Chains A and B, each alone.
Chain A
Amino acid sequence: MLVVFFSLCLGRVTIPFATVVKILFSSILPLEPDWSATTYSVVVDVRLPRILAGLMVGAALSISGASFQGVFQNPLVSPHILGVASGAGFGAGLAILLFDNLVLVHLVSFAFGLVSVGMTYALSRVYKTTPILMLVLSGIVVGSLFSALTSFLKYIADPMNKMPAIVFWLLGSLNHVSFKDILITTPIFIVCIATLLMVRWQINLLAMGEEDAKSLGVNTEILKTLIIVSATIATASAVCISGIIGWIGIMIPHIGRLIVGPDHKYLLPISMLIGAAYLVAVDTIARTALATEIPIGILTAIFGAPVFAFLLRKTQKAG
């Protein structure tokens, strides 16, 4: 909450804390407006949607990361493991190339994110089951296919106009999020996150291995599919409005584990909260640190890599 308020205050135009609070409450309380229309517009139309998007994207990527790490029994897995990011990136590139409509770009990238995971899933299916190892390997295959296709798009794109747009999109940014995007994606985020939160204790069982979970009486295929589908849709929604923001999905669950331990019952909620706050904080830095905006994907990687390296060393020493 605090991060949100600070983020609303800071920016190209710095707005006093009190004014922000007043503007926010003005819709529900009859307050005398003592602020300019521009200030109101900056807070409500520009910063608010962006911050809401930051909260949701951060929460979605972190909770999906924690869930994927549990299901894949590997703390180094990111929510992009099944090729969501590459697929969505290709979809966005294609849409930027063909149309000039932001909503279409988001929709097409979302669709391709799901298509790529669908391909991964289909490829890994043997004997009516989907072994974890096959999923990971298929994810790598499908991911590199779409990366290559994206490179091809960049190669044929108009270098003055379209190519920079594709590159910027791939770097990740909350810059072009509109209220419309938020209205569309919020219900999706809520459904996916709620589903993951409902089965969060059961992720512990899958984290012990599929056969073991089965011996404990778990219907592993249903549970695994439910978790992967929810986490994938949440990730695809995040990617389609914000581009590819790396590291959050790997790093935040590790911080969560340091605080509450490995039990997914507590890990999922805490990861979600930390992830939401973290992304809004980083986004605030992204738009305030330099005169021009820094793509947030670059910042999360610059912060993420050293923090992650530190966490790795720390857990190695503890273990």
Chain B
Amino acid sequence: MAGSIKIKNLSFSYTNTRQDLIFSQVSFDLSAGEVFCLLGPNGSGKSTLLKCIARLLTPLTGSVLLDGENLSQARPSKIARLLGFVPQSLVSAFPFTVADIVIMGRASRIGMVSSPSKIDRDHAWASMERIGIAHLAKRPCNRLSGGEWQMVLIARALTQSPRVLLLDEPTSHLDLGNQIKILQVVDSLSREGMTILMASHFPDHAFLNAHKVGILKDQSLIALGDPDQVLTQEILAATYGIAIRVLRVLDGVDRKICVPLLKKTNNCHKAQEENPSGACRIKMKGDKWNS
């Protein structure tokens, strides 16, 4: 399964002018089976970049080449066969069952005037089993938990049999267990050769399973490369505007982790000045600072 992707000089603006650009001159390459993690503060344009790559939005300049083929000239159905897009959140007005939703992934292979066939149902079933949600097939989608819903959307994207999978913040608003379950799925898909681009709010996820990381801030990629080398304390602090430490955990894991720090509040400073050896505490009722 091929799936190399080449992104060249991508720029985008909602008003189609060179003023207020969301991002400009974004370029990077991925080879088949690589996991790319896109980091950046809220509103930096991560989702917009993914949507430009998926051609849901038309970029102002630049091109996306998938295995050498320029996606800007491809029809929507062609793009959907090469590239699966998992949206950040999706609300359905109607209580479709999980099976109904997963089979929608076959839309690009079903003509405009026909319905899913046995083959389509088999594909949908296979991807539900692959993700481990086959037991949910008959469940209405309004009775799914956040983690289950995300799995359903991934299964639907797999039903497209794409070479590249784009995930827009797949782990946002999920609990720790579900976050890691999603990363597990991403990891095993990449081992099977699928190329994956995912936007994330967690630098730790980049350390956990990404081959490449990019940081989108102030309209451009301010960092790009191997997570271990790129995600330094300095760049993360600049990205998120907070104090942050990057530590290496050796204890049987050997991986880097991010440790964000809280700035000391004024009250605390004062207390420390007056009592340099004392640890900073939260002031509580009845507490005496200078005892």
A interface residues (Cβ-Cβ under 8 A, vs B): 70, 73-75, 198-202, 204-205, 207-209, 211-219, 222-223, 257, 261-263, 265, 319
Contact = CB atoms under 8 A, between A and B. Distances in A.
Nearest to B54: A215
A219 B77 contact: yes
B112 A75 contact: no
Contact of B80 (A199, A211, A215): A215
A204 B100 contact: yes
B105 interface: yes
Nearest to A263: B100
Interface stretch (B30-38, B88-96, B237-245, B260-268): B88-96
Given A215-B85, A261-B97, A319-B142, A207 B80 contact: no
Nearest to A127: B16
A70 B100 CA distance: 14
A217 B142 contact: no
**Top 6 A-B pairs, shortest CB-CB distance:** A217-B80, A217-B108, A262-B94, A217-B77, A215-B85, A201-B115
A223 to B, nearest CB: 7
Contacts, number: 83
Given A216-B104, A218-B76, A218-B107, A201 B114 contact: yes
29 contacts: A75-B93, A75-B94, A201-B115, A202-B107, A204-B100, A208-B90, A208-B92, A208-B96, A208-B101, A208-B104, A209-B90, A211-B56, A211-B87, A212-B90, A214-B76, A216-B160, A217-B79, A217-B160, A218-B76, A218-B108, A219-B77, A223-B112, A257-B94, A261-B95, A261-B97, A262-B94, A262-B100, A263-B96, A263-B97
B116 interface: yes
A200 B112 CA distance: 9
Contacts of A319: 95, 142
Contact of A207 (B79, B94, B105, B160): B94
Interface string B97-121: 1001100110110101111100000
B157 to A, nearest CB: 9
Contacts of A222: 112
Given A208-B92, A215-B56, 14 more contacts: A74-B93, A199-B113, A202-B107, A205-B107, A207-B93, A207-B94, A208-B101, A211-B51, A212-B90, A215-B87, A217-B80, A261-B95, A265-B115, A319-B95
